[in-house]
C-alpha cells in the first residue's frame, strides 16, 4: 500500500499556535502544560503511549514526561520545553528520545532543559511573574513538580478556555488530516459490511476494521470500537464485542480511526444477513430521515439544538405512526417521552479527541461557525424489555457522519460509506 499521502502538520503551525496563546495571556504571566505519561498495563508492560491532546496541539511532540512553559513579560516572550535527556542504554531498550540538545531546533522553541532539572530552572524562569496558567489535578505528576519547585503565584488561571476555543476552529492543514481520517474510517466501515455474516463474532469484525485502518496508514483507533449485534446495539457504549452475530438481526458499528492524531467517527447499522426485515427497515428509515434533515440544518449560523429539535419532532411523529408511542405528538415532545428510545445528543465536536473540546452553549445552542467539525448521529434504541409491538423489540439503530462547517454550508467528510438501504443491501450482496 502506497502511504505517500501520509501527512503531518508543519512545525510552523505549532509555533503559530504558541504565539496565538501568548497574545491572549495577561502580562507578566506564564503558562504551563504537561505531557501525558506512560501508563502500566500489567507488571512491567505499558499501554501504547498517546500524547495529551492539549500538549500535542502546542508542541507536536510525542514523548512522555515533558512540559511546555510559555513566559510572557514586557521584555520577552519565550517557549521553553522540558523533556527526557538522551540515554543510550534506555533508548536501546525502549526507543529513541529527542533529547535536550536537539529539541530547540526540532520543536522550534527558544530553550530546552532536562525534565529532571525542572525544580532547578522553573523558579528562575518564573521569578517575579504574578500569574500562572495551570490546571491543577489535570496531570498529577506535573502538580508534584510544581510543588517540589517551591514556587507560588498570586494568581492561578485556567488555560482551557483559551486552548479549547482555539482547537474548536480547524485550520486548513487540520482539515486535510480530518478529511483523511474520515476517508479511512469510511473504507473500514465498507470492509465491515463486506465481511459481516452470521456466526462471525463481533470481535472478528472489529479485527477487520482495525486491519483496514492500519493498511491505510492509521495505526490506532480513535476510541474503543463498538460492534453491537442484535440487542447489544441498545447499549450505547457497548465494547465487549464478544458475541456471535445472528442471522436476522442488525449489527451497529461505531468505529473511527486516528490519523495523524485526528479522529474519524462513523456509525452504521445494517443487517447481518444483508437484508433488512420490514420492522428493521421501518426503524432504520425513520433514523435516516431524521439524520438527513439534521444535515440540512447543521450549517454555519444555525446550532446543534435547532437540528436536534427537528430530529426529535421527526422521530416522535414516526414512533407514533408505528404504534411505538401513543398520544399527541406535541404533548409527547413536551413530556420527553422519546427519551426511552433516544437518550443522547445529536452530535459533538470532533478533532484531536473524538469528543473534542469547546463550549456548546446551553442545550448546545452555540452558533456553528466555519472551521468547526461536528458529528451528526441520531439513533433509536428499543430494548427487548420495551413495552412496544413485538416486532420492534431488540432493534437499535444509529447513523453517524462527520460534518465540516464551510462558507458554503457543510461538507460530509464521511460520505463514502453507504447508508441508503438499497446501497447497503447491494454492497452486502456482492460479498
Confidence of residue 1 (pLDDT cuts 50, 70, 90): very low
SS (H, E, C) the chain: CCCCCCCCCCHHHHHHHHHHHHHHCCCCEEEEEECCCCCEEECCEECCCCCCHHHHHHHCCCCCCCEEEEEECCCCEEEEEEECCCCHHHHHHHCCCCCCCCHHHHHCCCEEEEHHHHHHHHHHHCCCCCEEECCCCCCHHHHHHHHHHCCCCCEEECCHHHHHHHHHCCCHHHHHHHHHHHHHHHHHHHHHHHHCCCCCEHHHHHHHHHHHHHHCCCCEECCCCEEEEHHHHHCCCCCCCCCECCCCCEEEEEECEEECCEECCEEEEEECCCCCCHHHHHHHHHHHHHHHHHHHHCCCCCEHHHHHHHHHHHHHHHHHHCCCCCCCHHHHHHHCHHHHCCCCCCCCECCCCCCCCCCCCHHHCCECCCCCEEEECCEEEECCCCCCCHHHCCEEEECEEEEEEECCEEEECCCCCCCCHHHHHHHHHCC
* Bridge partners, residue 347, by sequence: none
pLDDT above 70 for 6? no
Pick the CATH number of 4-167 from 3.40.1130.10, 3.40.50.1820, 3.40.350.10, 3.20.20.60: 3.40.350.10
In the predicted model, what is the mean pLDDT of residues 38-65? 97
Model confidence pLDDT, tens digit, residues 173-201: 999 999 999 999 999 999 999 999 999 99
Has residue 326 got a pLDDT over 80?
Answer: yes
Q: What is the mean pLDDT of the chain?
A: 97
Q: What's the pLDDT tens digit per position in 128-154?
A: 999 999 999 999 999 999 999 999 999
pLDDT grade for 4, boundaries at 50, 70 and 90: very low
* pLDDT of 431 over the 70 cut: no
Question: If you average pLDDT over residues 411-430, what whole number do you get?
Answer: 97
Q: Average pLDDT for residues 314-326, to the nearest whole number?
A: 98
Residue-wise pLDDT tens digits, 358-416: 999 999 999 999 999 999 999 999 999 999 999 999 999 999 999 999 999 999 999 99
CA dihedral 148, 151, 156, 161 (to 10 degrees): -60
Average pLDDT score over residue span 296-320: 98
Tell me the pLDDT tens digit for each residue of 255-267.
999 999 999 999 9
Using a CB cutoff of 8 Å and minimum separation of 24, what contacts does 336-339 make? Answer: 338/312
At 81-104, the pLDDT tens digits run 999 999 999 999 999 999 999 999
Model pLDDT, residue 8: 85
Instruction: Compute the distance between CA of residue 262 and CA of residue 181 in angstroms, rounded to an integer.
Output: 7
pTM score, two decimals? 0.96
Q: Which three cell numbers stand for residue 57?
A: 496541539
- The pLDDT value recorded for residue 430 is 82
- The residues assigned a catalytic role are 44, 237, 254, 265, 344, 348, 355, 377, 381, 398, 400
The CATH number that domain 169-429 falls under is 3.90.230.10
- Give CATH 3.90.230.10 domain extents, the chain: 169-429
Query: What are the residue ranges of CATH 3.40.350.10 in the chain?
Result: 4-167
Amino acid at each position: 500500500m502506497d502511504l505517500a499521502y501520509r501527512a503531518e502538520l508543519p512545525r510552523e503551525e505549532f509555533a503559530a499556535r504558541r504565539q496565538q496563546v501568548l497574545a491572549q495571556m495577561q502580562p507578566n504571566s506564564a503558562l504551563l502544560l504537561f505531557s501525558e505519561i506512560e501508563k502500566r498495563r500489567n507488571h512491567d508492560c505499558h499501554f501504547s503511549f498517546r500524547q495529551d491532546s492539549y500538549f500535542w496541539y502546542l508542541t507536536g511532540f510525542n514523548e512522555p514526561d515533558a512540559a511546555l512553559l510559555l513566559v510572557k513579560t514586557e521584555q520577552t516572550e519565550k517557549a521553553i520545553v522540558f523533556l527526557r535527556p538522551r540515554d543510550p542504554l534506555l533508548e536501546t531498550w525502549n526507543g529513541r528520545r529527542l533529547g535536550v540538545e536537539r529539541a530547540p531546533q526540532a520543536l522550534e522553541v527558544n530553550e530546552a532543559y532536562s525534565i529532571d532539572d525542572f525544580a532547578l530552572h522553573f523558579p528562575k524562569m518564573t521569578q517575579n511573574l504574578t500569574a500562572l496558567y495551570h490546571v491543577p489535578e489535570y496531570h498529577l505528576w506535573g502538580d508534584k513538580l510544581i510543588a517540589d519547585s517551591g514556587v507560588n503565584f498570586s494568581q492561578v488561571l485556567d488555560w482551557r478556555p483559551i486552548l479549547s476555543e482555539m482547537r474548536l476552529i480547524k485550520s486548513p492543514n487540520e482539515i486535510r488530516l480530518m478529511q483523511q481520517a474520515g476517508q479511512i474510517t469510511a473504507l473500514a466501515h465498507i470492509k465491515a459490511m463486506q465481511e459481516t455474516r452470521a456466526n462471525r463474532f463481533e470481535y472478528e469484525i472489529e479485527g477487520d476494521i482495525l486491519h483496514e485502518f492500519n493498511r491505510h496508514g492509521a495505526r490506532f483507533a480513535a476510541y474503543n470500537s463498538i460492534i453491537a449485534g442484535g440487542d447489544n446495539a441498545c447499549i450505547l457504549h457497548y465494547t465487549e464485542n464478544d458475541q456471535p452475530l445472528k442471522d436476522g438481526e442488525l449489527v451497529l458499528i461505531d468505529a473511527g480511526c486516528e490519523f495523524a492524531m485526528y479522529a474519524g467517527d462513523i456509525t452504521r447499522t445494517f443487517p447481518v444477513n444483508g437484508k433488512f426485515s420490514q420492522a428493521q427497515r421501518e426503524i432504520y428509515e425513520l433514523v435516516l430521515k431524521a439524520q438527513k434533515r439534521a444535515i440540512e440544518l447543521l450549517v454555519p449560523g444555525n446550532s446543534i439544538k435547532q437540528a436536534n429539535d427537528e430530529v426529535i419532532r421527526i422521530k416522535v411523529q414516526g414512533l407514533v405512526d408505528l404504534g411505538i408511542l401513543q398520544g399527541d405528538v406535541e404533548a409527547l415532545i413536551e413530556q420527553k417521552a422519546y427519551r426511552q428510545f433516544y437518550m443522547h445528543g445529536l452530535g459533538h465536536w470532533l478533532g484531536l479527541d473524538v469528543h473534542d473540546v469547546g463550549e456548546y452553549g446551553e442545550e448546545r445552542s452555540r452558533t456553528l461557525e466555519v472551521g468547526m467539525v461536528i458529528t451528526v448521529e441520531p439513533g433509536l434504541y428499543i430494548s427487548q424489555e420495551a413495552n412496544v409491538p413485538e416486532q420492534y423489540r431488540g432493534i437499535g439503530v444509529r447513523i453517524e457522519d462527520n460534518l465540516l462547517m464551510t462558507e458554503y454550508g457543510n461538507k460530509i467528510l464521511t460520505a463514502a460509506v453507504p447508508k441508503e438501504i438499497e446501497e447497503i443491501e447491494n454492497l452486502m450482496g456482492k460479498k
